[in-house]
Chains A and B, each alone.
Chain A
Amino acid sequence: MEQEIALSAREQAELPLLGRLHEWVVTVDHKRLGLMYIGGGLLFFVVAGLQAVMMRLQLAVPDNHLVPPQVFNRFLTMHGTAMVFLVGMPILTGYFNYLVPLMVGARDLAFPRLNSFGFWLWFFGALLLYFSYIGGDGLYGAGSAPDVGWFAYAPLTERAFSRGNSTDYWILSIFLTSVGSTATAVNIITTAFCMRCRGMTLGKMPVVVWLAVVVAFMMLLALPPLSAAQVMLLLDRFAGAHFFDTQAGGSALLWQHFFWIFGHPEVYILVIPVFGFASEIIPVFSRKVIFGYQVMVAASIAIAFISMGVWAHHMFAVGMTPAGNAFFATSTMLVAVPTGIKIFNWIGTIWGGKIRLRVPMLFSLAFLFQFMIAGLTGIMLAVAPFDWQLTDTYFVVAHFHYVLIGAIVFMIFAASYYWFPKATGRMLNERLGQVHFWLFLIGFHLTFDPLHFAGIHGMPRRIYTYQPGRGLEGLNLIASIGAVIQALAVLVFVINVVYSLAWGEEAGPDPWDAWTLEWSTASPPPEYNFAVEPEVYSRRPLWDLKHPDDPDWLYE
C-alpha cells in the first residue's frame, strides 16, 4: 500500500504541467482541497480588497466623481458578499480541511469525494458571482453585478426594483457556495466523531478540532435559513410568488429575519475558527498549555448557542416592540460573558509563559487587542437606543471590520505563518513577515479607527458620496490612506509567499516546537498523512513525546 503511494508520488513529479494540473483537479486529498480552498480564498481576497480600495478612493474626498453611484453600489455589494462567502468561509473551511484529519490522526476526511464535490460547488458558485459582471445584464439590459448590499434587503431585490439578472447571480452563487459549505460541515463532524486516532477521546481533541465541530454544527443550522430565503426570493423573481412582495401583502421584515437568523451566526462561524487558531498559536509561542481547556471549549459552545438567538440586534431600528428590543439587547450582551472568558483564558495562557515574538504571535497579540475593542463596540451597538443612532452608519462598518480584519484576517495571517511550513516544507520569511505585520497593523488602524468617529458624526454607510461641510472630510481621507497601506501590506505578504515557496528556509517536521499531531509527520505531510496510525494519551501528544518524564496525561 505504502509502496504504491510512493510510486505515484514519483510519477507525479515527472508529470508535465497539464498532468500536474489534472492531478489537482481530480484530487480528493483533504490537504490539496484545503490548500485549494485557501488559495481560492486569497485570490478573491485580493479582488474584493481591491474593490474596497476603489471605494476608499472614491470616498477619500467629498463629492468625488471617481466612481459612479451604480458602480460603487456594485463594489460594496460584491466586496461584502465576496469577503464573507468567497474569502472568509473558504479560507476557514480550507484550514479545517487541512488540519482536522491531521490533528485527529486520520488519513483523510470521512467522505473525501463529498469534500471534493463541496469544493467544486464552492468554486463554481464563486465564479458565478463575478461572472455577473459579464452576464448580469439579462433580458432587460439592466444590471450587471449585484448592487443590493450584502444582505440584499427585500423588496429592493424584487423584480420591480432590481431588473436584469444581477440579483439572480447573487442568489445562485451564494446558494451554491452554501451547499458546498454544508458538505464540508458534514465531513468535519463525521471526521471528528468517527475517525479519531486511538486514545483521542473527545476531551483530548485539540481546541481547533473542537471549534471546527462547533462551527460545523453552526453551519448546518445557520446556512439553511439563508438558502431557504434565497429559494423564496428566486420563486418571487421567477415564478411570481409573493414572499417578499410588499405590494401583494408580503413582508419586507420576513426577509430581514431570515437573513439575520443566518447572518448573525455566520459572523461567529467566521470568528470561532480563528479562536481555534489563537488557542493553538498562543500556547505554542507562550510555551504554555492552554489555560482552562474545558472552559474554552464550553465557552465556544455557549457562544454558538447564544448566537442563535440574537439576530434581531441587526434590526433594532425596524420598529420592534420595546419587549422585543429589550430581549435581543439582553441576549446579545450575554455573548460578552463567554467571549470574555475566552479573552481572559488567552491572557491566562500568556501569563507566566515565555513569549516568543515571532510573526504568528505578533498577529495573535494584535488580534487579542483588536478583538477586545471590536467586541466592546459591539456591546455599544447592543445597547439598543444607542444603536438607533449608530445602526447603518460607519460606526457599524468600523465595528465589523475590526472583527473581520482586526480579528479574522489577522488570525488568518497568523495561521498562514504558522502552518505554511507544514503545508510546504518551507518557512515564510521572518523579516518580510515583520514588515507585513507592521504595515498591515498601521494601515488597518488608520483605516478603521477614524471610521468610528465618522459614524458618530452622522455618516451613513453605503453612500457613494458625501457632501462637504459635514465634518467628514479629514476622517475619510485618513481612512483611504490607510486602505492603500493595507494593500501594500497584502502585497508584501503575496511576495513573501511566492519568495518563500521558492527560496524559503527548510522547515523540517516541527519548526515551532509545537505539540499537536500534525507536527509529528513530515512537512509537507505525505498523502497518507501518517505512516503508522498515531496513538495519543493527552491533548498534547508531542509534549508527552518531548517530555517523557513529565507527560501531560498525568495532569489532565
Chain B
Amino acid sequence: MELPESTPRRRARPLRCITRCLVVIGIVAAATCAAASDWGMGAANSRLAPPDMFNPVSTPAYDIETLAWFAIAVCAGIALVVGALLAYSIIRFRSRAGDEEREPPQVYGSNPIEFAWTVVPLLIVFVLILTTARTIYTVEAAIAPPNAIRIRVIGHQWWWEVRYPGLKIVTANEIHVPVSDPAHPTPTFLDLESADVAHSFWVPRLAGKTDVIPNRRNTMWIEPRRPGVYLGQCAEFCGTEHALMLLRVVVEPRAQWDQWVAAQQKTAAASSDRGRRIFESTACVNCHTIKGTVADGRFGPDLTHFMSRETIGSGAAMNTHDNLRIWIKDPAVIKPGALMPRMNLSDADIDAVAGYLESLH
C-alpha cells in the first residue's frame, strides 16, 4: 500500500475512462432523442401531476399512503440503527498498524444477546403485521354502496375497453368518474377482466394495482376526492407493447360527469360522407364499433365517440389531426407491434376517414 508518485496517474485513468463513456452515452442519447417524436405526449404529461403514489387523491390510495409512511419509518429506523452499529464496529475494530500479530479474544456466542436480537425484531414484525392486516381488510373488504358507479374494464393487448353496464356506455382508454363528496360518497367499483393475457390496472394516485386476469373477475374500487386527470398504466407484462398501454382517469364534478354520460349515450352523428363509406367498406368494421353504423367489431376500441378522447392508441399519441392520419396510415409508426394492421389506404382515403372519425364527438 505504499506507492508515492505513481498513485495520482493511476487514479486518473479510470476517471478518464468514465468521462469518455459518459460522452458516448450523451451522444447516443442526444442522437436518439433528436430522432424521436413523442407525439405530443410529453407536453400533455407535463401539464398533469406525475402518477406518484405519495400524492393520493382517493380513499384506498390515502389508506395505502398512511401505511406506507409507517412502514418506511420503521424500516428507515432499523436501517439507521443497524447501519450505525455496523459502521461503528468497522471503524472501531479496524486492525491498527503494529498490532497485527496477536489474535483478538475469540468469542463463540452469547445466549442473552442472541435472545435479545431475536425478540426485538419479532416484536417489530408483530406490529407491522397488525397494521398491514388492518389496511388489507379496510381496502379489500369494502362493500359497494347502492349508489356506487359500476364499471367493467377489460384489458386487451394493448388497450383498455371500458364499459358502464348500467349506463350502456362503451368507450376505451379513458375512464370518466364523478368526484366523490365525503358527505355523500359515490365510490366507483371496477370489475376487471381480460380478453387475452394478464394485465394490471394501475392508477397510482387513485388506488393500488389490481391484476386483470383472463378467466377471472377481479374487483377494485376508488373514491376520488379531487377533480383532475390521473395517469395510469398497465403494470403486468403483457407482450410487445406493454409499455404503451396507458390509461387516464378523468375525475369530474358530478354535473360535468352527467353531461359526459349523456353525450356518450347518444349514437354517433349520422353523417354519410365519403369517409364513412370508406370506413364501412373496409376491414375497419371487423374490429371497431361505431354505434348506429354497420361497424360492430370488438377486437379494437369502440370509436363511437372517438373525438371525446384525448389520445390515440391507449395513450401512445395525442389525438390530433396529424397523429390520427399517421395512425390510420400505419399504426406501427406510433406504436410498433400494435395489433391493428396497416390498412394500405390511399392518402386521399386516409384524409376522408380521418375526417369522418373527427366528426365522432
Any A CB within 8 A of the CB of B240: yes
**Nearest CB of chain B from residue A424's CB, rounded to whole Å:** 23
Closest to B41 in A: A467
Give CA–CA (A160, B239) in the complex, Å.
12
B90 near A355: Cβ-Cβ < 8 Å: yes
A69 near B336: Cβ-Cβ < 8 Å: yes
B67 near A333: Cβ-Cβ < 8 Å: no
Any A CB within 8 A of the CB of B235: yes
B132 near A288: Cβ-Cβ < 8 Å: no
A384 near B21: Cβ-Cβ < 8 Å: no
Any B CB within 8 A of the CB of A112: no
**Nearest CB of chain A from residue B247's CB, rounded to whole Å:** 12
Any A CB within 8 A of the CB of B46: yes
B29 near A289: Cβ-Cβ < 8 Å: no
Most buried by B among A286, A388, A460: A388
Most buried by B among A251, A389, A392, A468: A389
Give CA–CA (A481, B41) in the complex, Å.
25
Q: Would you list which residues of chain A between 377 and 427 have a CB under 8 Å from chain B? A: 377, 379-380, 382-393
Of the residues B22, B76, B100, B243, contact of A481 by C-beta under 8 Å:
B22
A336 near B41: Cβ-Cβ < 8 Å: no
B71 near A386: Cβ-Cβ < 8 Å: yes
Collect the chain B residues with CB atoms within 8 Å of residue A159's CB: none
A470 near B243: Cβ-Cβ < 8 Å: no
Closest to B22 in A: A481
Most buried by B among A250, A337, A439, A481: A337
Please tell me the number of chain A residues within 8 Å of chain B, measured between CB atoms.
Answer: 114
Stretch at the interface among A83-91, A269-277, A342-350, A497-505: A342-350
Any B CB within 8 A of the CB of A537: no
Collect the chain A residues with CB atoms within 8 Å of residue B45's CB: 467-470
Please tell me the number of chain B residues within 8 Å of chain A, measured between CB atoms.
Answer: 109
Q: Would you list which residues of chain B between 30 and 68 have a CB under 8 Å from chain A? A: 32-33, 35-38, 41-46, 50-54, 61, 63-64, 67-68
A388 near B86: Cβ-Cβ < 8 Å: no
Any B CB within 8 A of the CB of A190: no
Collect the chain A residues with CB atoms within 8 Å of residue B140's CB: 321-322, 325
A386 near B64: Cβ-Cβ < 8 Å: yes
Given A69-B240, A69-B243, A485-B18, decide whether A337 and B121 contact each other with a Cβ distance below 8 A: yes
Collect the chain A residues with CB atoms within 8 Å of residue B86's CB: 347, 350, 365, 368-369, 372
**Nearest CB of chain A from residue B325's CB, rounded to whole Å:** 20
B71 near A379: Cβ-Cβ < 8 Å: yes
A385 near B42: Cβ-Cβ < 8 Å: no
Of the residues A60, A156, A386, contact of B238 by C-beta under 8 Å:
A156
B129 near A330: Cβ-Cβ < 8 Å: yes
Give CA–CA (A457, B132) in the complex, Å.
22
Collect the chain A residues with CB atoms within 8 Å of residue B348's CB: none
Collect the chain B residues with CB atoms within 8 Å of residue A492's CB: 14
Give CA–CA (A527, B243) in the complex, Å.
54
Assuming A153-B236, A392-B237, what are 16 further A-B pairs, CB within 8 angstroms? A63-B38, A147-B240, A252-B215, A289-B108, A292-B108, A295-B114, A322-B133, A348-B109, A373-B79, A380-B71, A385-B132, A460-B235, A484-B25, A488-B17, A488-B18, A555-B108
Query: Can you list 22 residue pairs at the A/B interface with Cβ under 8 Å?
Result: A61-B29, A65-B36, A69-B243, A70-B336, A147-B240, A149-B237, A156-B239, A317-B200, A319-B218, A319-B219, A322-B140, A329-B136, A333-B132, A347-B86, A383-B67, A385-B208, A386-B64, A388-B210, A456-B53, A465-B244, A469-B41, A556-B108
